């Protein structure tokens, strides 16, 4: 029982360290004239919209731009997790 508790604490510690590391990663993605800044935890910190574009056009472009930025951040997060040994290195895979 104490071994499982120790493993859980180590996992929690590793997960928090990974979360902090991902929060420091900033990615900027541009799509359809919209620039989005997002961190590795998928928190959006900035959106720059083009001037002179109507509301309907922005509503059409914005979802794709946000999805593009999130996809980029997810790829960076996956790379970071692999750097730490993948899911096995985090204590979540086969073992």
From 58, 56, 77, select the one nearest 66 (Cα to Cα). Answer: 58
Question: How confident is the model over 24-39, as pLDDT tens digits?
Answer: 889 999 999 999 999 9
Question: How confident is the model over 49-74, as pLDDT tens digits?
Answer: 999 999 999 999 999 999 999 999 99
3-state helix, strand, coil in the chain (%, to 5): 60, 20, 25
Task: Please give the Cα distance from 3 to 54 (Å, whole number).
Answer: 60
Question: Which band of pLDDT confidence, cut at 50, 70 and 90, is reported for residue 89?
Answer: low
Lowest mean pLDDT among 3-7, 43-47, 68-72, 91-95: 91-95
Q: Cβ(69)–Cβ(27) under 8 Å?
A: yes
State mean pLDDT over 80-87.
77
Angle (deg, nearest 10), helices 2-24 and 55-83: 130
pTM: 0.74
Q: What is the mean pLDDT of the chain?
A: 87
């Amino acid at each position: 029982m104490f071994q499982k508790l120790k493993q859980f604490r180590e996992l929690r510690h590793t997960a928090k360290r990974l979360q902090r590391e991902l929060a420091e990663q900033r990615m900027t993605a541009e799509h359809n004239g919209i620039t989005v800044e997002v961190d590795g935890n998928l928190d959006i910190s900035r959106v720059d919209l083009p001037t002179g574009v109507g509301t309907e056009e922005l509503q059409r472009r914005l979802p794709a731009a946000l999805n593009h930025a999130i996809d980029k951040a997810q790829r960076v997060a996956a790379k970071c997790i692999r750097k730490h040994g993948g899911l096995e290195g985090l204590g979540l895979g086969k073992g």
